A and B are shown apart, each in its own frame.
Chain A
Amino acid sequence: MIFMEKRFVYADNAATTRVYQEVAAEMLPYLTEHYGNPSSLHFMGQQAKKALESARERTASVLGALPEEIYFTSCGTESDNWAIRGASAVYAKFNKIEKPHIITTAIEHHAVLHTFEALKASGYEVTYIGVDKDGIVSPESVAAAIKDNTCLVAIMYASNEVGTIEPIADIVKAVKSIRNIPFLTDAVQAVGNIPVNVKELGVDMLSFSGHKIHAPKGVGGLYIKKGVRLKNFIEGGGQEKGKRSGTEGLANIIAMAKAMEISRDRMPERASLEKKRDKLIAGITSIPDTYLTGHPTKRLPGNASFVFKGIEGESLLFLLSAAGICGSTGSACSSASLEPSHVLTSLGLPVEICHGSLRLTIDYDTTDEDIDYIIENVKRVVERLREMSPIY
């Protein structure tokens, strides 16, 4: 009997990433040796405190921020929640706005959208800006949505689903030319994948997450520009200058700092990653009735996302998984809601085709052979499902 080594291709890096060996190596001593609490006065505590502040400096340096502008959190979701609630509350109070209005886009991650919905339920007024067919938010449409009671604007830097990169600097300019309204960008998918500089963007707040950039799950961060005020989100022992309490997850924070540095150092490899992505896009869109979703060029270097006519995404995903390929889908059947992805429908795609979506997110480790293997298998699986489909 011949045993075939089953091939394994991980193409779901937008969901989460492998922790780099170097990252794991750097964080490990902070679990087993330097395990002091940064708030403790003894030398173990002081060592930990020093390591924490060093990680803050390293993180700030990668993002072009000041160390005191970086706050560590437990995840990107927390950063988004805190920024939206915290900044809008302070701005509303300071400007004596009774019914705050907040603005975001229709294609945000649920970390932002569901926070907006919760605030709406508590009496806020909310506006969701639409996007064009490629997922681009226009600065004019954001500016046009601003009202006298607007207290916050939150626009994602890059889409987790279709990979479109938004013109954040231009949107910030358009907003700030009207009034100095707090501006958050959810950069969870951008940081680590494209160069991100908070000063060039001009944002007030920027959220990021460790596990999307080859650090562990359970750590994130929020950049808060000096002078921008946020209401506390988590009260307690006064960590993070009293703004975000809770004993710091030091090992995770150090891991995230290291991962940030690695991703910055690897930025020059982006061109070759984009080349692999474009090969993947060309291969898959050669399948009939298959369309790329998101912007053709203004997109994350590892994101290749598609919709296929006549098939359903969950079946596609499971058949690919059986071939050792990990991807993701925005199909209704993959969610509890039975509604297809709000992002895909926001692009103006017919609901029917949104059920047949596939997102492949590759990274530097993906080889040309992996790309060939993915293309070959997507072709085979799509053909098989279409043969089974009564509507194709």
Chain B
Amino acid sequence: MPQSAEKVLDHRPLFRQPEYQEMLKNKKEKYEGGHPDAKVQEIADWTKSWDYREKNLARESLCVNPAKACQPLGAVFAAAGFERTMSFVHGSQGCVAYYRSHLSRHFKEPCSAVSSSMTEDAAVFGGLNNMIDGLANTKALYDPAMIAVSTTCMAEVIGDDLHSFIEQAKGKGSVPQDYDVPFAHTPAFVGSHVNGYDNMMKGIIEHFWKGKTATPGTKLNIIPGFDGYCVGNNRELKRILDLMGVEYTFLQDASDNFDTPSDGEYRMYDGGTSIDEVKSALDAKASLSLQHYCTPKTMEYIEGFGQTTASFHYPMGVRATDELLMKVSELTGKEVPEALRMERGRLIDAMADSQSWLHGQKYAIYGDPDFVYAMARFVMETGGEPIHCLATNGTKDWEAQMKTLLASSPFGKGCQVWAGKDLWHLRSLLATEPADFIIGNSYGKYLERDLKIPLIRLTFPVFDRHHHHRFPTMGYQGALRVLVMLLDKIMDVMDDDTNEPGVSDYSFDLTR
């Protein structure tokens, strides 16, 4: 008997014990009715061939292991960045449980959102009654400062009109007329979570700005975009802006909401942009979007008020941070302080110290469009070579922009850009044209296992490593952390490669 109270074996060691191995072998041989091992191996080998790659890339309808989620997830994330705001997702109930658990699994934090729980009746008669009761209950139970409404695909397919529903609900006394209920249609069959973010941001801003005119002041609006590392990043950016002495408003900031302390009190809401801040953001000097592809409609709407805007592709790495700081400086007239030049210098110092290990490393990078752009750029700054850049939710525009970026550096020459492809495509690409490392999220662990290419987790979602998102990846400090992540993996691989005594005693160096 393998189990004992003294040393309790859980699944990881338990099922390796001979009793279980024997049992599983027996199950396989007698009952599973599987394909012969040789056949399985033959197909397994074939899935890594060029022939398979071509067939795989020819796929038009089936999507396998995509690196994207549906719009309402982005909307729920966006709403979580506003003070005391409850997400209300109009449609079927299950979806909301999904968004909540998805975000909880990444942040290791509570995530609140409610649903109008539409069922078959609503499919026939529309979901107006669900909206009326739902808004009233949400307000009564959770006492939010505002309720941000988005939609699951059910509500979209039956064509519920949020604007009219909310008006009618207010007319029926569900919530007071002057109570803030911004909304966004977030059809799951259009775009991805980054568009859901965009739609919700625009919905909230429009709710408070519509019909007003802007009087440009001195403050900057910062719109971070969908960022699983918002906890570390937003705080880091605030530190940088404070150092510069800039006045700013984060339009959407989930950093406190997704990082509440454990002190005995459960906070359903924490931090976030207040309604007053959203209102006064209209009179800002300029609005900066940190993630271009998360905010096209939002920025267009803001431009409509005559505000100056600028967008970035996830300011991670040296030049991306430089550009952000110079833009902020240009817009506000504040100089970049010496302290930040020192931070930059220390980052460059670290990169120089380690350049011999970084130079020429080949990376496959996947994730949301702005992240992939930034990551590829930073990798090239270290002397690394991106060879596959993939965004399942990447558009033609993104593809073109990526190509321009890659063409700007000799380190980008060998790189191919894959817009709209999924991680099963990436498996074929890496099986035929391998990289040294994969940069992505937790889902990449299946690629790592299949192809024996080490994975570096640097973007949402990270389910199987803890707390990475609590540290920044943006700014010079963030870049330093990313650099260390790359270096640790590079050097761990070197040690793992050479740690067999009597076989590879050489190369197992103490100092590198």
Q: Is the A/B pair a real complex? A: no
- Measuring CB to CB, which residues of chain A are less than 8 angstroms from any residue of chain B? none
Residues in chain B within 8 A of chain A (CB atoms):
none
